[in-house]
């Protein structure tokens, strides 16, 4: 994988195939953002083209203050928000945004392992995706960025412009709803293996 600075320099220098490689490297993240924010696949495809056209036009403004993927993700997220505003669709969250500086509700252990375990299992992945699709735009986008694209909270904050505490709060509530919808999967644990008998 080409390092960010080399990639940008190659594109700006007009190296043949450089921009196409940039698109291939970042199209998965871009599609995840657009498809989660905008439910219509045709709209999402058009917005993906618009995203990379804007990236190409504005790449000379990129100052390496963040990773290239988060900058491109921010462009995609902004385009998705503008699209929803044009259609007079408000981005819906699952609850009122916590005040800046307020301590968000957060799990004491590692709840991410629950979702990641379901995502890793091919038999449950389809149900998990279906459950995520029932969430409002913002939490389903945040879940996808955190668990599927493996962005950190700080990187998601750069993409969305949301405070870290707000992101964590949305993730907490989204996971809680998923646990309710997929309760049978969370409770399916393999039976413990009995210990081997000890012979004298």
pLDDT of residue 86: 85
* Among the listed residues 77, 69, 56, 63, the one whose alpha carbon sits nearest the alpha carbon of residue 3: 69
Tokens read off for 101: 């500086």
Reply yes or no on whether the pLDDT at 38 is more than 80.
Answer: yes
pLDDT of residue 49: 96
Digit-coded pLDDT (tens) for 48-93: 999 999 999 999 999 999 999 999 999 999 999 999 888 776 565 5
pLDDT of residue 116: 61
In the chain, CATH 1.10.1740.10 sits at: 4-86
**Which CATH architecture does the domain made up of 4-86 adopt?**
Orthogonal Bundle (1.10)
CATH number for the domain running over 112-186? 1.10.10.10
SS3 content of the chain, % helix, strand, coil (to 5): 65, 0, 35
Digit-coded pLDDT (tens) for 83-118: 988 877 656 555 544 444 443 433 433 445 456 665
Least confident of 100-109, 125-134, 140-149, 179-188: 100-109
pTM greater than 0.85? no
Reply yes or no on whether the pLDDT at 194 is more than 80.
Answer: no
In the chain, CATH 1.10.10.10 sits at: 112-186
> Tokens 């291939």 correspond to what residue?
24
pLDDT of residue 106: 36
Most confident option among 24-28, 134-138, 185-189: 24-28
Determine contact, residues 90/135, Cβ cutoff 8 Å.
no
Burial 73-111 (b: 16+ CB within 10 A, else e): bbbbbbbbbebbeeeeeeeebbeeebeeeeebeeeeeeb
Tokens read off for 29: 């993240």
Reply yes or no on whether the pLDDT at 153 is more than 60.
Answer: yes
């Amino acid at each position: 994988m080409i390092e960010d600075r080399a990639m940008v320099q190659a594109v700006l220098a007009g190296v043949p195939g450089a921009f196409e490689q940039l698109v291939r490297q970042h199209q998965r993240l871009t599609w995840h953002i657009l498809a989660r924010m905008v439910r219509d696949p045709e709209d999402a495809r058009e917005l993906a083209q618009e995203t990379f056209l804007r990236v190409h036009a504005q790449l000379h403004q990129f100052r390496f203050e963040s990773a290239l993927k988060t900058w491109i993700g921010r462009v995609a997220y902004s385009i998705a928000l503008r699209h929803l505003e044009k259609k007079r669709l408000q981005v819906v969250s699952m609850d009122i945004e916590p005040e800046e500086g307020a301590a968000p509700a957060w799990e004491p252990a590692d709840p991410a392992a629950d979702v990641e375990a379901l995502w890793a299992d091919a038999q449950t992945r389809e149900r998990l995706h279906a459950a995520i699709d029932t969430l409002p735009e913002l939490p389903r986008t945040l879940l996808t960025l955190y668990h599927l694209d493996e962005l950190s909270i700080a990187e998601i904050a750069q993409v969305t412009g949301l405070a870290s505490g707000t992101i964590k709060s949305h993730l907490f509530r989204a996971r809680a709803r998923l646990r309710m919808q997929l309760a049978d999967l969370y409770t399916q644990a393999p039976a413990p293996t009995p210990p081997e008998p000890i012979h004298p």
